[in-house]
Amino acid sequence: MRPPLPPPPVSTVAALSALLARCPSVDAAAALHARLLRSSRLFRPPFLGNCLAAAYSRLGAAPSAVALLRHAPHANIFTRNILLVALLKSGDLQAARRLFDGMPDRDAVAYNSMISGYIDSGQTGEAFTLVRTMFEVGVRLSGFTFSIVLSAVRVARHGVQVHTAAVRHGFVHQNVVVGNALIDMYRRIGLMEHAVSVFWSMNGHDIVSWNSVMLVYRDGGQSSWVFECFRLIRSHVFFVDECSLSTVLSACMDAKDLSKGEQLFAHCVKMGLLSNPLICSAVISQLCVSDRLVDAVWLFEGMATWDSETYNAIISGYARRGLMEQALDLLQWHCKMVFFQLGLLLQVC
């Protein structure tokens, strides 16, 4: 009887797992896969197989991950969790649920994956049922669980229930991701005062928190608070991103504060931010409101690509000046481009 093969050196396994974690493409992962197959002892433990499947799944080749792990001889909890994610990314929700139901040990990762899969497919009822099951079987909900569930809330009663559970688990004040998800949820269902209350009760904020509460103030017509939050962001030395600037620019238009809008426009030019479509759309709208349609058209025509927001901004500018023929021509061109892109997408599908 042949003695068993010795385990591969720890340094080799660590190096290969690091390479798989940083794989830039499916071809690179496949090349490493081929090298692993030539060394059977490297593939004997499940660890590298799990790393390879995770790389395939991350790079958009979920079917390859499924094929690799479906009949893995030494499957463990990590193998089954990676396979579950791969099945969900492949769109096979029923197979994912069968795997989930048959798992001997389901942790928070497995529940979160399945809940996310149901929400992505529009089956929010099934998602909420799984959350209740987590409570019943004693699996601890994570901050990620709450952020997933909050993204699916559409009714105020459900939102308050999830918020209460998050408070009871100690996530609202300490976990910035859950706090941000609560702000976004309350804004989405129109409970602006609740969103503001969550923001100011948080022990710490990131730029997403500030952007979210600025959107709440803007949607609530409180432009002065948008400007104050923007000032606080800069005083806290946060990096002002595209969402921050576009929100403040739209607040300037709502408040008819053209001087602030001009200052922000100058800041965007100075920092070279006009190449960003979101910021550029907001600047074009600002220029149109300021009766600088010529400058808005010049900026629009100089953009490398246009999206719906950009088209809407310049079309509204033409309509504001009563140039309906130009507005309709541009709208017709935009519609043609949308249908052309849709046709290309259908050919690929």
pLDDT in tens, 175-230: 999 999 999 999 999 999 999 999 999 998 999 999 999 999 999 999 999 999 99
pLDDT lower than 50: segments of the chain:
1, 5, 8, 348-349
Confidence (pLDDT) at 18: 84
Confidence (pLDDT) at 5: 47
Residue of 242, 255, 216 whose CA lies nearest to 229: 216
**Which residues, 6+ apart, have CB-to-CB distance to 174 below 8 Å?**
203
**Which residues, 6+ apart, have CB-to-CB distance to 40 below 8 Å?**
5
> Which class for 276: exposed (0-12), middle (13-18), buried (19 or more C-beta within 10 A)?
middle
Please give the DSSP secondary-structure letter assigned to residue 33.
H
Question: 28-44, pLDDT tens digit by residue?
Answer: 888 888 877 776 555 55
Count of Cβ atoms closer than 10 Å to residue 265 Cβ: 24
Q: Are 77 and 107 in contact (CB under 8 A)?
A: yes
Confidence (pLDDT) at 261: 82
Confidence (pLDDT) at 214: 95
What residues does each domain of the chain span?
A: 15-91, 116-204
> Which class for 164: exposed (0-12), middle (13-18), buried (19 or more C-beta within 10 A)?
exposed
Cα 264 to Cα 125, 248, 280, 287, 299: the distances in Å are 44, 8, 12, 11, 15
Confidence (pLDDT) at 8: 47
Confidence (pLDDT) at 225: 95
Confidence (pLDDT) at 41: 58
Q: Are 314 and 284 in contact (CB under 8 A)?
A: yes
Q: Are 66 and 87 in contact (CB under 8 A)?
A: yes
The encoded tokens of residue 106 equal 């389901």
